[in-house]
A and B are shown apart, each in its own frame.
Chain A
Amino acid sequence: MRITLGMINRQYNKNLNAALNQLNSGYLKTTTLRKFEKTSDDPFSASKAYQLRREYEENQTYLDTLDSVDSQFMTSESAMRSIYSVISSADSSDVLQGITGTMNQDDRKIIADKLRQMQKAIVAPANTKFGDKYVFGGSEMDEAPFSVDGDGNLFYRGINVDTGELENGTAANFNGTLIEFGGGFDTTDAAANYKDYVLKITDAGEGNSSWVDPPTSNLITLHVDLSKVHTNQDLLNELRSMGTKFTGLDFSKVRIVGDMNRTVTDGMESSAIYDSVSMDTMGKLANEEMLANLGLGLQLDEDGKVDSQSAFNTSIPGISFLGYGTSNTDGTEMPDNLYSLLGKIADQLESDDFSMDSIQPYLDHFSDQENKLLSEITKMGAKSNFLSTLKSNLDPMGDKILERDQNVENVEPEDAITDFYMQQYAYQAALSIGTKIISKTLLDFMY
């Protein structure tokens, strides 16, 4: 083939440019230490890198969550331990063990006072906070779960732990919320007892102000302007402004808590108005779950909801270890709740017809409940152990992912620098060859 100087020049230019390009990419590699700068440089590695980066982010999220869950658990555990220490000191020879049938009224009074002091000492740790959260509140952690009324009854989130009666009188569930009537709805007045009534929302039509039909056959129909009332929050405001409509039907003290943003539609009905909850409900409350994603691999149960087994349950409802409801021992109905039980024992001690026979079932029951508390604390310990095992797995896993990601994305500095020197060498060689082939023509050798 005929070769001309022009061809050599052009080829040389192209090759020199290629060498310069490589030098540039080599230089980039030494400064960024990256294998590729854009996805298209290496799509397979890039897709792997995207994957690994996400896994690492997830791992870090799990670790963050785990750290806060762990601290929350430590707080909970120590609160439970201090409750237990109160309980076990109540069960000591100074107090309950020291009760004999021969004690006089004053001695009994002393012990009863001690027990009442101990009741108070239980409530404080039961309302323990971690950060802004009340750790024993189940799913509701913004407000102190336990409260005591003037009669010495203990309430868990407004529900009497022994009877299930509501602290604030009547309530109903409506559209994802709890409507509390705040004593505005009378359940005692025989003439106007609205218990078991249902609230029904009907559109009043645009521009019309709200009104209420006279309650009939367990139905209270509220007419509100649905073009203005969109959400539960709007409805609450509307109800409050209604005031008293009929005897014993006062809306002004209504309180709505829960999901305030759901839409209110025509024909929506509340649950039947109630003033107490069943023990079944209390059981559900005691088993309420709050799930944290700690990388156990979220899965769905048959209802299409997140399976509790695939996440970590962080909730410790206070009544789950303090007890709720009543049980019947030897023909005596007595509370399961340790606080109430202490109160009942104190009542017994203070009672005039005190006898060892009448107090004994309470004492037996108390020691059963005490053991239950201890076993709940032990369960907590097992969960804490699980958390530390999980942490010791997640930590190295994160390091491993990071290492793999670096293997995919980064080059070793020594490799990068070696490559760079090689490319520099190639470029310089190309330059020096250039001066040799370009300069000479036949002309240079004539004459």
Chain B
Amino acid sequence: MASTFSAYHIAKSGIQTAQYYLKVTGQNVSNVYTDGYTRQRLDTYAVAPTGLNGRYASKGDLAIGGGVDASGVTQLRDPYLDVRYRMEHSKTGLTGTELDTMDNVQDIFDEITKNGINTQLTDLTKQLNTLAASPSDSNLETIVKNSALLLTKAFKNAAEQLSKIRSQETGSFQSGGIDKVNNILQNIAQLNREIKSSDISEAPALELRDQRNSLLDELSQYFDIQVTSSKVPIGAGRTVEEMQVSLVSGDKKVTLVSNDQYNQFKLDTDPQTVEDSVEDGGGNSHVYASKTINASVTLTDSNGNVLKGSDGTTPLVTNDDLKTGVFGGYLAMLNDSGEYDAVPSKTFGTGADEVTSPATASTTRGIGYYEKVLDQFASELSKTMNGINSTDGANNKPMFSNGGSDSSKPITAANISISDQWNNATGSYITATKDDELPGVDNSSAGKNILYMVYQFSQEQTYKTPEDVTVFSTSLNSYVSKISTTLGLDIETATRQNDTYNSNLDGIDTQRASISSVDVNEEVINMTAYNQSLAASSRFMTTIDEAIDTIINKMGIVGR
């Protein structure tokens, strides 16, 4: 036989649970616009009747449930969507970073609405054309010289801006990349510790989990990550979860955070030369590719000691492991030079010892590409002009020089200058003709050779890297517009990719929001329902009370 007062407990459980419901609703509503907040839900279950399987239960007893009970508060979240979101996020990190840098570089080469090297070169051609018609006119030659001087200034300006972009990007890699990630890793480890201790005391720590999820989302834009968890026993048969965050690169997995332990990234910006070599059959090593690395990232423990790989010497994490995300973007922009990194396959050694090195493919066109392509332009232009102006085939009348005293140094965009000889020249310096001298007269002013310069400016030629890889075919006249167009196309492609990745990311985020975000309408409906359920349970309490009052005070007193 059921206890008389057991119905009070049912009513009490109903009232209490309705209050819990209302509290959770309140929490949801108040966090409707909190970033990273996951919708919460009260998990309840119906309490089974006591003594249902009781050995001594009498046959006539009815098994009526004991009301409702709340087992806990859980979050509505789909972990699969988190994984997808984080995978996509590293892609937008990569394209976004590359786009930012390329946009900056575009400012240097884009001459659609402003003037730069291209404009100046066109002006030089124009002045040369004019000079060709009257080569001995010293005023015209002064104009040509002035135009050439402005051209060298435009070169220097572009080179300076490029190096500024390089140092800015390096700086923002450190502050906006490395430092940020290190901070996130530290915070995740901290949160892991707090969540674990909450778990031990069986407090769910949902809000801390939200914070941690937000940090993981943020972290995932820097590189590919994998989040795993493992159960660890805490005695008395109980287990709690511990979380690990790993950096993923192909098959390689490197732990970044393991519960409350974390590693840190380190950026080294001293240029280093990396050489690839093959060994021939005779055991001789041959370097087949060498590349200057301006930024290298390694992983250290929380005390700053570089973590080594299984061989104990090479670092555990190198640039090769960071091909995606913001890190991948910065590393590509700072280290890669596109076609200039490509090395065709070469053969070393002789006879049976012969060995063929693998071909190295070209890489992303980073800042290095634009530095090299601009330097090549400066040196090709000087070589062409100096060659045409020379009368002995040995560069005896250079128009451009490297601006320094050591003439063996190559001419680059940063050092291209009007040669000292030209600056100190008497009379006409530009070789107007290379025709043979005529006896008796001065025929040095016949202008054919100047027209030859003009001609060479418009000649299409194939520009190659020092490793003999084709960069592009164009004329000196169109060189800068070629760079600008190449860059424009790269930006266009990257923008399109970035848009696609972003809209994918957005789609996944919408799906996530569909599950996890709070809807005010829904909560208002719930609020109304829970309020009514509270009222109903209270009403039930009153009803039971009246019933028991009837039993106690009114039963069996008839005729008293």
Q: Which residues of A contact B (CB under 8 A)?
A: 1-7, 10-11, 14, 34, 36-43, 46-47, 49-51, 53-54, 57-58, 61-62, 64-65, 68-69, 132-133, 138-142, 157-159, 164, 166, 171, 173, 176-178, 231, 233, 257-263, 265, 271, 274, 276-278, 281, 284-285, 288-293, 298-300, 305-306, 311, 314-315, 409, 441-443, 446
Expressed in whole angstroms, the Cα–Cα distance for A39 and B118 within the complex equals 14
Q: In whole Å, how far is A209's beta carbon from the nearest beta carbon of chain B?
A: 23
CB contacts under 8 Å to A, within B420-451, are 421, 425-429, 431-435, 437-449, 451
Q: Mind listing 26 A-B residue pairs with CB under 8 Å?
A: A1-B514, A6-B33, A7-B513, A38-B112, A39-B491, A40-B491, A47-B482, A51-B478, A57-B126, A61-B129, A65-B130, A158-B440, A164-B440, A177-B444, A258-B443, A262-B391, A262-B396, A281-B438, A285-B441, A285-B443, A290-B134, A291-B451, A293-B132, A315-B446, A409-B112, A441-B521
A40-B110, A259-B391 provided; 20 other pairs, C-beta below 8 A?
Answer: A2-B515, A3-B519, A38-B112, A40-B489, A40-B495, A51-B478, A51-B481, A54-B122, A54-B481, A139-B446, A140-B445, A164-B440, A177-B442, A177-B444, A261-B397, A276-B440, A298-B458, A305-B434, A306-B455, A446-B524
Interface size for chain B: under 10, 10 to 19, 20 to 34, or 35 or more residues? 35 or more
Contacts A50-B478, A140-B136, A288-B446 hold; do A305 and B517 have CB atoms under 8 A apart? no
Expressed in whole angstroms, the Cα–Cα distance for A65 and B132 within the complex equals 10
Contact B132 A4 (CB under 8 A): no
Contact B520 A442 (CB under 8 A): yes
Q: In whole Å, how far is A151's beta carbon from the nearest beta carbon of chain B?
A: 19
Contact A133 B445 (CB under 8 A): no
Closest-by-CB residue of B relative to A68 is B133
Chain A CB within 8 A of B541 CB: no
One of B425, B431, B489, B521 near A5 (C-beta < 8 A) = B521
Contact B515 A139 (CB under 8 A): no
Contact A166 B440 (CB under 8 A): yes
Expressed in whole angstroms, the Cα–Cα distance for A182 and B525 within the complex equals 115
One of B429, B492, B515, B520 near A40 (C-beta < 8 A) = B492
Expressed in whole angstroms, the Cα–Cα distance for A234 and B41 within the complex equals 96
Closest-by-CB residue of A relative to B130 is A65
Closest-by-CB residue of B relative to A37 is B113
One of B122, B136, B428 near A57 (C-beta < 8 A) = B122
Chain A CB within 8 A of B522 CB: yes
B106, B441, B481, B524: most-surrounded residue (chain A CB, <10 A) = B441
Q: In whole Å, how far is A432's beta carbon from the nearest beta carbon of chain B?
A: 22
Chain A CB within 8 A of B68 CB: no
Contacts of A288 in B (CB 8 A): 443, 446
Contacts of A132 in B (CB 8 A): 137
Chain A CB within 8 A of B392 CB: yes
Contact B444 A259 (CB under 8 A): yes
Bitwise interface map of B from 376 to 397 toward A, beta carbon under 8 Å scored 1, else 0? 0000000000000001100011
Closest 9 CB pairs of A and B: A39-B488, A50-B481, A43-B488, A4-B519, A40-B491, A139-B446, A277-B440, A47-B485, A258-B444
Expressed in whole angstroms, the Cα–Cα distance for A198 and B137 within the complex equals 32
Chain A CB within 8 A of B477 CB: yes
Expressed in whole angstroms, the Cα–Cα distance for A42 and B520 within the complex equals 44
Expressed in whole angstroms, the Cα–Cα distance for A224 and B451 within the complex equals 36
One of B32, B126, B446, B517 near A290 (C-beta < 8 A) = B446
Contacts of B305 in A (CB 8 A): none
Q: In whole Å, how far is A152's beta carbon from the nearest beta carbon of chain B?
A: 20
A46, A265, A300: most-surrounded residue (chain B CB, <10 A) = A46
Chain A CB within 8 A of B216 CB: no
Contact A64 B520 (CB under 8 A): no
Contacts of A306 in B (CB 8 A): 448, 451-452, 455
Contact A50 B113 (CB under 8 A): no
Contact A2 B489 (CB under 8 A): no
Q: In whole Å, how far is B73's beta carbon from the nearest beta carbon of chain A?
A: 19
Expressed in whole angstroms, the Cα–Cα distance for A53 and B446 within the complex equals 30
Chain A CB within 8 A of B324 CB: no
B439, B484, B487: most-surrounded residue (chain A CB, <10 A) = B439
One of B391, B425, B439 near A176 (C-beta < 8 A) = B391
Contacts A43-B489, A46-B484, A177-B444 hold; do A37 and B112 have CB atoms under 8 A apart? yes
